Amino acid sequence: MSLRTRTKTSDKPVEFIELQDSGNQTVAKPVVKRSGPLTLSKTYTNQESLDDSTKFIDDLIPLLEKREELEKLPHDQQDFLNLMNTFSLSEHGVAKAAGTRIYSLAWHPGTCKMLLATGDRAGSIGLWDPDQVYDVNQGVRVYDVHTAPVNCLSFDKFNPTRLLSTSYDGYIRCLDFHTSVFNEVYSVTINKKNWTAFHAQKDPSTLLVSQANGEVVVVDTRTTPGKAQSRIQCFEASVRTLSINPTDENLFLTCNRYGEMGVFDLRQAKRGSGDGEPVTPVIEFPKTSKKGIHGACYSPITGKYALTTTLENNLKIFDMTNKSSGADRCIQVISHNNFTGRWLTPFKAVWHPQREDVFVVGSMEQPRRIELFGAPSGRLLHTFKGEWLNSVCSINAFHPTVPILAGANSSGRVHIFRP
C-alpha cells in the first residue's frame, strides 16, 4: 500500500453515508472520521514530491502577505464592458486544478500573486498559481483534505494567509499557510439528516455555518475547535448558501432545496441544541421555486439586490429595499437553462465582488460560454468564450481586485479569462 493511500485511509472508523448534494444527487460514499489538524505534507496527493509542495507554499507566503494598492476597475458599466471585451482565454489559461468535479472556487484577494483555490467532489482542495505556466504541474498543487464534496471555499477576510473550507463530511477547516496545517474549525456528526453545507464570515472570530438539518449555527473560532455558541432554525431542513448583508452584519440571506428563502437576524439566535421549530424570517418570501434554489446572495456593496439561481430554469433579482411583501420584491425573472443534469455541478449565479450591476453564471448553450448579465435589467451583456473552452463552466468567480475571471467545470478543469 502506498504512503498516500495509507495516509488517506487511517484506522479511524469509516461510515457509509448517503448525502443529498447540491444537485439533488445522492452521494453514497465512505466518510472517514478525520478529526483534528491535518498537515499539508500528509494531505499532498503526490507523496513522492513533498519537497516540491513545501517550496510551492514557502514561495507563496511572502507574496500573499504583501499589500499593494488595489486596482481600480472602471466605474461606468459601459467602460467595464469595454474591458470585458478585451478578455480572452489562452492555452495556458486552462489547467487541471482539481481531481474531479469542482464545487467551489475562491480567489486570493491580493494583487501581487494570482492564487485560485478549488474544492472538488472528492473532498480535495487545489491551489493554482496560473502564472506558473512552465511549472511541471502548471502551478497546481492538490491536497486530500476532506472526504466529501467541498461546497464552500473562502480566504479569510481578516487574514489573507488563511483559507476556509466547508465540506459535506461535517468539517470546516482552515488552512494556515504559515503553519502548513488544515486546522479543524468546526464539525458535526453527520448522518442522513445533517451535515455542513456552507459558511460565511461575520468578523475575525465569528463564522456562520449552514447545516442540512435546517439550522444556521454561530461559531466562535477563538475556541479550538470552534463551538456552536448559538443557532437559528431557519427551515425544517436543508439550508444551502449563506450571504451576510454588507451594511448590516446581523442580517443574513439563505435558501434551501425546497424553494424556501428568507432573511434572518442573528439576534434571533438561541443557545442550546434547538427545538426544531423554524423561526419567522425578518423578510419572508413566498416559495420562490417549487424545485429548489441552488444559491441566494446579496449584492456585495449595499445589499440592495438579492440574486437567486433556481431549478425552475430562471434567475431572479429582488429589490431588498422594497418595504412591501416578499413577493413584490422580485423585480426581474430571467429565463435561463439551469438543468445541468446528473453529471454537472449545478449553476450558482454570483455578483462581481466590486459591482452591483453585473453578475456571472454558467451556460448550457453551444458553443460553450460563460454569461454576464446586468442588474437590475436582467439583460445579457456579454459572453466569455473561446476555442479553449469546450465544456460547461458551472462555477465561476471574478477576482475581487484584478480584471480576471475563472470558470470551473465538472472534470476538474479551470479556465481563466483575462485581458
- 3-417 has which fold? Methylamine Dehydrogenase; Chain H (2.130.10)
The reported pLDDT for the residue numbered 9 is 36
> CA-to-CA distance for 192 and 187, rounded, in angstroms?
15
The residue type found at 99 is G
The reported pLDDT for the residue numbered 65 is 87
The reported pLDDT for the residue numbered 4 is 40
Q: Which residues of the chain have pLDDT under 50?
A: 1-17, 28-30
Pick from 254, 212, 308, 306: nearest CA to 18: 212
Residue 93, classed as helix, strand or coil, is: helix
Question: What is the number of other CB atoms lying within 10 angstroms of the CB of residue 314?
Answer: 18
> CA-to-CA distance for 245 and 268, rounded, in angstroms?
15
* Domain assignments of the chain as residue spans, ordered by start: 3-417
The reported pLDDT for the residue numbered 13 is 37
The reported pLDDT for the residue numbered 11 is 35
Cα 76–chain centre separation:
28
The reported pLDDT for the residue numbered 32 is 57
Q: Extract the C-alpha cell encoding 9.
A: 485511509
> CA-to-CA distance for 285 and 345, rounded, in angstroms?
26
> CA-to-CA distance for 264 and 374, rounded, in angstroms?
27
**Per-residue pLDDT tens digits for 163-209:** 999 999 999 999 999 999 999 999 998 888 899 999 999 999 999 99
Residue 342 dihedral angles phi and psi, to the nearest 5°: -75, -30
pTM > 0.85: yes
| Number of alpha helices (DSSP H) and beta strands (DSSP E) in the chain | 4, 31
Specify which residues 118 forms β-bridges with: 105, 126
Cα 150–chain centre separation:
8
The reported pLDDT for the residue numbered 298 is 98
Q: Extract the C-alpha cell encoding 188.
A: 458535526
Specify which residues 218 forms β-bridges with: 208, 230
